């Protein structure tokens, strides 16, 4: 798949349009796996809108800090969770979790979530009503971590690496 458009923005952000319906934002993130979801949300003044979005329910699979190039992918169409996951894997990208959302917000709080509501398919869990994934979005004027499930409209971006 040939790149049709690449833009370099301040802060080390690269925006690529790979096809009419495929956009990728790349940026370097440092994720701290030792900080709890609750502590990070509080420290950054992020509203944690769902009490189930905790470190107990979504434990870190790693320890310490890790720096990597995160990819925020938008397919410009409505997708079910399994379809989005399949498309990311076809691109050789691996879904990231809620801690990557928090790191992106910490690095660029104006960009995320205001312009780019983001889903962390790497932090999905079935609480008895189907799978729900961690999200970062602006809801009624507040930047919120939340859990949503089902399908994702064209505005949503998926965080991966």
CA–CA distances in Å: residue 122 to residues 35, 88, 93? 17, 11, 11
Provide the domain limits for residue 143. 5-160
In the predicted model, what is the mean pLDDT of the chain? 89
Query: What is the pLDDT, as a whole number, of residue 2?
Result: 52
Q: How many CB atoms lie within 10 A of CB 62?
A: 11
Query: What is the pLDDT, as a whole number, of residue 13?
Result: 82
CA atoms within 13 A on the CB side of 159: 32
> What is the spatial distance between Cα 160 and Cα 57, in angstroms, rounded to a whole number?
20
Averaged pLDDT, 35-61? 91
Tens digit of pLDDT for each residue in 103-147?
Answer: 998 888 767 666 789 999 999 999 888 899 999 988 888 888 999
Q: How many domains does the chain contain in total?
A: 1
- Full-model pTM: 0.89
Residue count of the chain: 161
Averaged pLDDT, 51-70? 95
Query: What is the pLDDT, as a whole number, of residue 1?
Result: 47
| Of 7, 10, 11, 42, the residue nearest 23 (C-alpha) | 7
């Amino acid at each position: 798949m040939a790149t049709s458009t690449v833009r370099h923005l301040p802060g080390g952000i690269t925006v690529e349009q790979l096809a009419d319906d495929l956009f990728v934002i790349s940026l370097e993130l440092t994720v701290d796996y030792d900080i709890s979801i609750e502590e990070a949300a509080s420290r950054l003044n992020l509203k944690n809108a769902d009490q189930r979005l905790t470190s107990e329910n979504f434990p870190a699979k790693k320890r310490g800090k890790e720096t990597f190039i995160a990819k925020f992918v938008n397919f410009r169409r409505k997708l079910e969770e399994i379809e989005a996951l399949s498309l990311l894997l076809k691109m050789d990208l691996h879904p990231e979790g809620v801690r990557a959302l928090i790191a992106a917000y910490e690095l660029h709080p104006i960009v995320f979530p205001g312009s780019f509501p983001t889903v962390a398919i790497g932090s999905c869990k079935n609480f008895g009503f189907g799978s729900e994934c961690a999200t970062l979005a602006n809801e009624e004027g507040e930047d919120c971590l939340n859990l949503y499930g089902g399908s994702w409209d064209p505005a949503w971006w998926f965080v991966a690496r």
